[in-house]
Amino acid sequence: MNYGVLVAVLALQILASADGAYAADSSVANRAPSGAADTVYEVARLRLLQIRTLLVSTGRQTSLGSAFRVSADGLAITNYHVISQFALEPATYRLEYAAPDGQRGKLKLLGFDVANDVALVQVDGAGQPYFEFDRKALQDGTPKGERLYSMGNPLDIGFTIVEGTYNGRVARSYNERVHFSGAINPGMSGGPAVSSAGRVVGVNVAKRWGGELISFLVPARFAAELVEKRRTPVELSATAVRAELGRQLLAWQEHFYGVLAEEELPSRALGPYLAPDSPARWFTCWARTNEEQIPRPRATLYTTLCNTETSLFISNDLSTGEVRVSHSYAKSVDLNAVQFAAFVSSQFRPAWFGWNRKRHTRTQCHEAFVAAKPPATPPLRAVWCARAYRDFSDLYDVSLLAVTQDRPKEALVSRLTMHGVSYANAMRFGERFLQEIRVAAEP
């Protein structure tokens, strides 16, 4: 199932194989910076930080990222994913910063915004110069095409400045992200992207694998809000982090499904059936068929798959927030009813992400035949599967599967998969989804 495009978060880690990225990276690093970049970097240099996550037991680094100072009293902004290991397991990991002048020290986690992948940390050493936020960017007024300079410490080879272009908000994305055309590399996560005046427009966060220079920034607004909210320097404990994560995820999905509830579910015709299609423009949809396969398939299959690309990074072994809607319409060419049922069985699977014993409870399912409601709703065989998140109360992964049972040699298999959803929202959207599986009126 290779519909999706990989968006990788850019903390540099042991597991990230550096070889492939390295070649591309050095070509950028060797490019002579323009005059503007020269000045910007000179001004910015002392405001940049590298953030290392170290294993408490050995003192060796397990992950690297970047950060930048945003106040005279030592506040700095980075990505949530840069500090996530420490945030969730402070007994195993600790954080350390390194400044370009070689200075090192401890840092404290003050707050984070998991949906927008930013975190606020406190470093010691007051009185250092710091970045200011770009006022135009805070009001979403940066013109497309403006030069931006992204900074950070890619692959731990030294602080680097990368020139690129602001390309506006990413269309078809529920979570606000800025599309930056420039080379952001692993290790630059959490570094700033600044205007030629040296003011912060966004925070480096991710790039798309398989694309060229397609990178993403978190709009400066979210970093600024985090700084505003957390003026009192209180360090977060592990329990507080989990509680806060749970609270933010719950709030995030509440808003997400609230918006979804107001969208219409347009019907898409698939054979004699009508299937609920992607409700909002931030669903990315794909389709495929087996029609052209050789040997000729004995049943044709049309599949549409929509997903939201709203995956939220929680930890290296847990992402959440994505919704998938998919439908497969199958029609027998020369299979008999039993063979056709076996063929449809191969589509009758939930489409959700890997299970992790530490993070999820076991999946529990309810399956049943659901009666038809004439005239439009066909009889179904439906399966509701759910698993709970161990760390966050009232958050679940839910999958609803349904296959029509009104014809022996034609069927519609519909799948709805919701990651990180409250049970109430899952029920609400699930019921709506199931009711929208219909039989088209006879012509």
Interface with other proteins, residue 335, by CB under 8 A: yes
| Cα–Cα distance for residue pair 138/173, rounded to 1 Å | 19
| Cα–Cα distance for residue pair 286/438, rounded to 1 Å | 21
Interface with other proteins, residue 430, by CB under 8 A: yes
Indicate the residue among 205 and 383 with the shorter CB distance to other proteins. 383
Q: Are 260 and 280 in contact (CB under 8 A)?
A: yes
Indicate the residue among 135 and 349 with the shorter CB distance to other proteins. 349
Q: Contact with other proteins (CB under 8 A): which of 344, 412, 416, 421?
A: 344
Interface with other proteins, residue 366, by CB under 8 A: yes
Name the minimum Å distance from CB 334 to other proteins.
10
Indicate the residue among 216 and 257 with the shorter CB distance to other proteins. 257
Residue 410 phi/psi, 5-degree rounding, is: -145, 140
Indicate the residue among 318 and 434 with the shorter CB distance to other proteins. 434
Indicate the residue among 156 and 436 with the shorter CB distance to other proteins. 436
Indicate the residue among 117 and 410 with the shorter CB distance to other proteins. 410
- Say how far residue 352 (Cα) sits from the centre of its chain: 15
Kindly give the pairing relationship between strand 364-370 and strand 178-181.
Answer: unpaired
Binding mask of the shown chain, residues 264 to 303, with x at each position contacting other proteins by CB under 8 A: -------------------------------x--xx----
Name the minimum Å distance from CB 326 to other proteins.
16
Question: 22 to 51, contacts with other proteins by CB under 8 A?
Answer: none
Give the residue carrying structure tokens 């002048």: 101
Among 16-24, 39-47, 233-241, 330-338, which window interacts with other proteins (CB under 8 A)? 330-338
Interface with other proteins, residue 261, by CB under 8 A: no
| Cα–Cα distance for residue pair 136/202, rounded to 1 Å | 11
Binding mask of the shown chain, residues 346 to 365, with x at each position contacting other proteins by CB under 8 A: x-xxx----x-xx-xxxxxx
Indicate the residue among 153 and 425 with the shorter CB distance to other proteins. 425
- Interface with other proteins (CB under 8 A), residue total 61
Interface with other proteins, residue 317, by CB under 8 A: no
Question: 390 to 409, contacts with other proteins by CB under 8 A?
Answer: 390, 393, 396, 401, 403, 405-408
Residues 6 or more apart whose Cβ sits within 8 Å of residue 91: 56, 238
| Cα–Cα distance for residue pair 405/25, rounded to 1 Å | 55
Residue 99 phi/psi, 5-degree rounding, is: -95, 160
Name the minimum Å distance from CB 333 to other proteins.
11
| Cα–Cα distance for residue pair 136/157, rounded to 1 Å | 32
Name the minimum Å distance from CB 304 to other proteins.
20
Name the minimum Å distance from CB 429 to other proteins.
12
Q: Are 365 and 428 in contact (CB under 8 A)?
A: no
Q: Are 69 and 128 in contact (CB under 8 A)?
A: yes
| Omega of the bond leading into 279 within 30 degrees of 0 (cis) | no
Q: Are 164 and 155 in contact (CB under 8 A)?
A: no
Among 35-43, 137-145, 237-245, 340-348, which window interacts with other proteins (CB under 8 A)? 340-348
Of 258, 261, 410, residue with least CA distance to 329: 410
Interface with other proteins, residue 318, by CB under 8 A: no
Indicate the residue among 45 and 381 with the shorter CB distance to other proteins. 381
441 burial type by CB count under 10 A (0-12 exposed, 13-18 middle, 19+ buried) = exposed
Q: Contact with other proteins (CB under 8 A): which of 97, 256, 282, 384?
A: 384
134 burial type by CB count under 10 A (0-12 exposed, 13-18 middle, 19+ buried) = buried
Per-residue buried b or exposed e for 26-54, using 16+ beta carbons within 10 Å of the residue's own CB: eebbeeeeeeebeebbeebeebbbbbbbb
Positions touching other proteins (CB under 8 A) are: 295, 298-299, 335-346, 348-350, 355, 357-358, 360-373, 377, 379, 381-390, 393, 396, 401, 403, 405-408, 423, 427, 430-431, 434-435
